Amino acid sequence: MSGLIVAMDGPSGSGKSSASRGVARALGLRYLDTGAMYRAVTWWMLQMEIDLDDPAAIAARSGEPALELNTDPDFPGVTLDGVRVDGPIRYPEVTRAVSAVSAVPEVRSRLVALQRELIEVALKEGGIVVEGRDIGTVVAPQAPVKVYLTASEEARAMRRSAELAGSTVAAQRVELARRDTLDSTRKTDPLAMAADAVELDTTALNLDEVIAEVLRLVKERA
């Protein structure tokens, strides 16, 4: 595949990350997890003890953290101010705060610009699979393949609880509902399915089946 962008959007627990990496591997493309970028900025804000209830305070510091992304699907990672932060950005306190930080327009504009730069670089190397919540609508609306992954509330909660040690399905059900509301109702670049995206319900599908379906769509549309 040459010069291809595959946009993979959807809420937490829909299976975006594993499927996106699998598709990128299968096609020999780069892989970008845009959610990790918002998590990295959120972690930085927490370390700097920024008041996350104050959008103006977040905006004022949003240009400071230096982000670097590894887009190899076998070794994806985030470096923040020269330090790998793949583990810390998955901490529960980051998960609880990331929706508030990602809703700040100044944060989004900076990261969207960086995401587009990474996409342009990847296109020169063949292409990229990009996952997030606004890829098909904002970051790369020109992508020829747009997939919006969904799953039942129960399936999403079960997946998330399996990923997070010590968490329960009930707790994740509450957390996912909270994040869905915040992400879909924010004023800037809300979670939404692009008009020309294909909706893929992953509730009853295993990972290999999800990847196979996306590959079928790539063959059909690209």
Q: Which two tokens mark 65?
A: 């953290």
| d(C-alpha 202, C-alpha 205), whole Å | 5
Q: Which two tokens mark 136?
A: 């098909």
The angle at the Cα of 217, spanning 215 to 218, to the nearest 5 degrees, equals 65
Q: Which residues pair with 148 in a beta bridge?
A: 9, 199
Q: Which residues contact 167 (CB under 8 A, 6 or more apart)?
A: 160, 161
Residues that constitute the known binding site for ATP: 10-18
**Strand, coil or helix: 156:** helix
Task: Report the C-alpha dihedral over residues 175, 179, 181, 183, rounded to 10 degrees.
Answer: -170
- CB of 108 closer than 8 Å to CB of 189: yes
Residues that constitute the known binding site: 10-18
Q: Which two tokens mark 167?
A: 């968490």
8-state DSSP, 197:
P
